[in-house]
Structure 1
Amino acid sequence: MLVRLARALQPALDWYRRVLQPTLAIVTPIGWLVVAVAAVSITLSLVFGWAEFTYLGFVLLAALVIGAVYLVGRASYGVLIELNPRRVVVGDRAMGRMLVTNTGPKPLTPSRMELPVGAGVAEFQLPAMKPKEQHEELFAVPTARRAVIVAGPAESVRGDELGLMRRTVKWADPVELFVHPVTIRLQPSAAGLVRDLEGQVSKKITSSDIAFHALRPYVPGDDRRYVHWRTSARIGQLMVRQFEETRRSQLTMIHSTQRHLYASDEEFELAISVTASIAAQVIRDGTQMDVVSEVGPWRTHSVTAMLDASCRLEPTGRDFDSMRDFARERTKRLPAPSVVMIVAGSLMTTAEYRSIETLFGKDTSQVGFRVEAGVLPKLSSVSGLTMMTVGQLTDLPKLLRRTS
């Protein structure tokens, strides 16, 4: 029964969304209040014969009719929005430009253009414009905090002076401005990353590699290329070489954005700056790396892509039962790392750092960064886990040099 009723009403609902809803949307909340007051006034005048309410009702209706006249007409604009530069660091100056062109065959009367910029809206008064005439407006973009600021789309606004009616038309596509976190330049191969081009030597023994370990008796199936013929001739038995397995350096950074781990917004931003600074240097060094947060992996194919990804991070809730579950879920599809770095706020406990440590093998070097705004830098070791306490971004190069 309900299904048949819904199907019967569907055409009417489609017509409402397509035709009636856009028409009703031009009346502002103040306009609807005026409509309600006018209806009540006229009803009272008809019931009680009060001339005052008759006058009030018709005056309000006249205001609505006059307001509707302001909506008559069509405008043809070509709008270009440009941001220069498209990427800045927190606190840097960023300017925007909006170029409006009359693309129609007729002159346009003065109008208003609104341009959303981040959480705010910039308003511009456009003059009367002849066909093909252009008008340029410049605006400043606030860059006080790390963010992705969207400028646009621009909206031309038609409406009456009382604000009863309003019709908007969108022009141009939105443009993004990336406000990157503050970072600091680090030395190459920072934080004990690979110091040679061949990779790190592990304790695992293999039959073919670079780092020679020892000789052992030949067994069927061994590759004869690794037979040590001189030793075999001397002792009268085939001997083959064994090697210590070397691995290419692979860095995994685990950056938590859970709000409860940070004492303040300042601490949260400092942690992002720490991660971004290390990741930028690792990418410049050409070392393979992955950076993960609760929302997923960062893009790390270039320094710019990594910094762009960091701009989109916001504090999150407790999306995982524990920090260990978070780290396991976000790293289980990644290559086995040779170095793991864990970055979080001052409210993350040492036990939580160590719970992540247990996910990786003994050959994996692990470093924990506890970000606590304003404290003195500190370096310690807890059961093989190197812990660094970072109070300000300038502490980072000194701490990393001490671990090299």
Structure 2
Amino acid sequence: MARRLNIIRWLEYNWATPAYGGWVLIGIALSFFGAATNTMAGWLYVLSGTIFALLGLNMVDAGKNLKGIIIKRLPIYPVHAGNDLTIILSVGNATGKLKILIQIQDEIPAFLGKPVIHNLESLPPRQEIQLAAYIPTEKRGVYHWEYIILKTAAPFGLFYASRLCKIPAKATVYPQILPLQSCPLIEDIGNEELKQQESRPIYYSATEGVTKTIRPYRYGDAFRLIHWRTSARMGELKVRELETTTSGREIIICLDNSGKWEEDDFEKAVIAVASLYCYSLRRQLNVRVWLADMGLIHGITTVMETLAAVKSGVNMTASIPELPVIWVSCHSEKLNSLMPGSRCFLFTKPPFPYPGIVYNREESLLKQLQQPI
């Protein structure tokens, strides 16, 4: 049975295979032909020949209908979990003939949902159209897929022809970002650093609010920093990079992705790290993220792409920074090795009191990140 299905599939993707109606007509044509050989009735030969001609025409035209169709992918821009991915295909007809009744099936990963199907009634010659699909996302990740299937039964629906198009795609779903209004984990460390800065010479704060440079807008930049006059002149968004007293302060958020994690806990930990990172950026703090297998990373795009793909259960190969950090982990063994002034967000109860938060599955993550330490 499996061998027979493989043969039918090979015929469909390399030539054409009969649809249900096609099999019925083949049976009728064979019956007429058998009756004609027994009775020598000419009209039966004509009927069977006409049906076979109709079947042959559909079999040939179905394959021809898919020739000359050019499909391109437009870039798939990253989104945060909970938002829709926009997948756009550009479909062109490079021939001088009208293409009709075509189905385009984008084989997206099962994690993103069922294959996306577009049905085209017609595609005029030498023209190009765009087909958009909006895929809801629930979980972070970096998703790869390759194939698009073209399928048609034109013009009579008696034979199906399908063709595989290898067009690689990559979609990145960043972790969800929680709308933190306050965060004692960050602010507590920030306040300690601020006290240290107050003892420094006055000229350190003399440049606060002064524009250091104008640079292109990056995802996550505050809109109040946009320099509208320069943006209008250059034709793209430009933002001011300011000299502030916070530029010397450094926040390091450590995600201990080593060892064994509960899957749901690890997803919450990644969301927490991403939210803390974006909150620190809004506060204009110098913030970096540390991972057990990668060490320190920085930059909004690099951090978000790394957090989208990060996995638990790795071996710890990077050294813990010798600075006060925010330690996000399900293990408490490393607490003694953290620098004084560090804070923790733990998914297990520590054996001794330590400044920070212990995750409670009964409360929302947003509420816990904003609660006092």
2:99 paired with 1:108: yes
* Greater RCO (Cα-Cα under 8 Å, separation 6 or more): 2
| TM alignment of 1:359-370, pairs within 5 A | 360-361=338-339, 364-370=340-346
Letter in 2 for 1:29: N
Matched residues in 2 for 1:312 and 1:298: separation?
16
Partner of residue 293, structure 1:
291
- Aligned residues between the structures: 271
Aligned letter for 1:187? S
Q: Note the residue ranges of structure 1 that are not aligned, 5 or more in a row.
A: 1-26, 35-54, 56-61, 202-208, 212-246, 321-325, 373-377
Which residue in 2 is equivalent to 1:390?
A: 359
Asked if structure 2 preserves the Cα contact closer than 8 Å seen for 1:90 and 1:179, the reply is: yes
Q: Which has the larger radius of gyration?
A: 1
* Structure 2: distance between partners of 1:28 and 1:128: 30
Give the deviation of 1:102 after TM superposition: 1.6
Residue 256 (1) aligns with residue 251 (2): no
Q: 2:334 pairs with 350, 353, 370, which one?
A: 353
Identity across the alignment (%): 12
The offset of 1:393, in angstroms, is 1.3
Aligned AA (1:195): N
- Whole-Å Cα distance in 1 between the matches of residues 166 and 190 of structure 2? 53
2:125 to 118, 131, 137: 131
Q: Cα–Cα, structure 1 residues 182 and 289, in superposed 2: closer, same or farther, change >3 Å?
A: closer
Question: Once structures 1 and 2 are overlaid, which stretch shifts more, 73-82 or 248-257?
Answer: 73-82
Q: Give 1:141 deviation, angstroms.
A: 0.2
Residue 310 of structure 2 is matched in structure 1 by 313
- Among 319, 329, 337, the alignment partner of 1:331 is 319
- The alpha-carbon distance between structure 1 residues 135 and 289, as it changes in their structure 2 partners (threshold 3 A), is closer
Other-structure match for 2:266: 268
The alpha-carbon distance between structure 1 residues 185 and 252, as it changes in their structure 2 partners (threshold 3 A), is same
Shift of 1:210: 4.6
Instruction: Give the superposition deviation at 1:93.
Output: 4.2
How many Å separate the matches in 2 of 1:250 and 1:162? 68
Distance 1:78 1:387, change over 3 A: closer
SS at match of 2:365: coil
Residues 31-74 of structure 1, C-alpha deviation per residue, up to 9 Å, x if partnerless? Answer: 3899xxxxxxxxxxxxxxxxxxxx9xxxxxx9xx9798554562
Could you tell me whether the CA contact under 8 Å between 2:98 and 2:124 is conserved in 1? yes
Q: Which residue identity does 2:150 align to in structure 1?
A: S
User: Which AA in structure 1 matches 2:341?
Assistant: S
SS at match of 1:266: helix
Q: Tell me the secondary structure at the aligned position of residue 303 of structure 2.
A: helix
Among 179, 182, 185, the alignment partner of 1:184 is 179
Give the deviation of 1:276 after TM superposition.
Answer: 1.4
Instruction: Give distance in 2, aligned partners of 1:307 and 1:186.
Output: 20
- 2-structure distance, mates of 1:283, 1:33: 54
Provide the residue aligned with 2:166 in structure 1.
170
Name the structure 1 match of 2:234: none
CA distance in 2, matches of 1:312, 1:88: 13
Instruction: Note if contact 2:193-2:249 (Cα within 8 Å) is conserved in structure 1.
Output: no
Q: Is the 8 A contact 1:91 1:144 kept in 2?
A: yes
Partner of 1:23 in structure 2? none
SS of the aligned residue for 1:127 comes to strand
Taking structure 2 as the reference length, the TM-score comes to: 0.57
Any idea what SS the aligned residue of 1:174 has? strand
Alpha carbons of 1:159 and 1:199: their partners in 2 closer, same or farther (altered >3 Å)? Answer: farther
In 2: Cα distance, 1:150 partner to 1:33 partner: 25
Shift of 1:341: 1.8
Which runs of 5 or more structure 2 residues have no equivalent in the other structure? 12-33, 35-51, 202-246
Contact kept in structure 2, 1:31 and 1:165, CA below 8 Å: no
Aligned to 2:222: none
Within the candidate set 132, 136, 141, 1:142 is matched to 136
1:255 CA displacement: 0.9
- 8 Å contact from structure 2 (residues 92, 127) kept in 1: yes
Aligned partner of 1:386: which letter? P
Report if the CA contact (8 A) 2:80-2:176 is conserved: yes
Matching residue's letter, 1:396: Q
How far the C-alpha of 1:343 sits from its partner, in A, is 0.9
TM-score in terms of structure 1 length: 0.53
Deviations 1:82-102 (A, max 9, x none): 66xx44443334444434222
Q: Which amino acid is the alignment partner of residue 74 of structure 1? A: K
